[in-house]
Amino acid sequence: MLTITQALVDQIVAHARKDHPDEACGVVAGPAGSDRPERFIPMLNAAMSPTFYEFDSGDLLKLYREMDDRDEEPVVIYHSHTATEAYPSRTDISYANEPGAHYVLVSTADTDGLGDFQFRSFRIVEGEVTEEEVRVVEMY
């Protein structure tokens, strides 16, 4: 289960809406070993594409060095889908190389009639996708 604050959910959704129609992407870092997302880090989609995302390799290297210096790890890796449901594509699955991370997808397309966005979380380990419950809290 992903436990995340309402403030972080709001920041992720706002980033997805701001970058629409391109996919948005980013990381929420947290203390190493805590499984607690704390620090919101929006990233640039280097692909600048409405159909896939790609972290800039230089930005990603800088981020991992910064997280290492702060004794953090990527707790949430998020991106948006602009025209399809919030479910990992084959490309998303192939990019998933952090087995301990929660992969959050936000869809800015109303694909289910339940509202103007979907917010879902998945674990992706060795190509296997498992959806998990999302518990939104006011604070930890």
pLDDT of residue 109: 78
CATH superfamily, domain 2-137, is Cytidine Deaminase, domain 2 (3.40.140.10)
Q: Which two tokens stand for residue 14?
A: 């706002």
Specify the pTM: 0.94
Q: Does the structure show a pLDDT above 60 at 42?
A: yes
Confidence at 110, pLDDT banded by 50, 70, 90: low
pLDDT of residue 111: 59
Share the mean pLDDT of the chain: 94
Domain locations in the chain as residue ranges: 2-137
Query: Using alpha carbons only, how large is the chain's radius of gyration in Å?
Result: 14
pLDDT of residue 115: 62
The residue to which tokens 């991370």 are assigned = 101
Sort residue 110 into left (φ over 0), alpha (ψ -120 to 50) or beta: beta
State mean pLDDT over 125-136. Answer: 97
Q: Does the structure show a pLDDT above 60 at 27?
A: yes
The residue to which tokens 């970058």 are assigned = 19
Q: What is the Cα 53 distance to its own chain's centre?
A: 11
CB 122 within 8 A of CB 131: yes
State mean pLDDT over 14-24. Answer: 94
Give the containing element (helix H, strand E) for 73.
strand 72-81
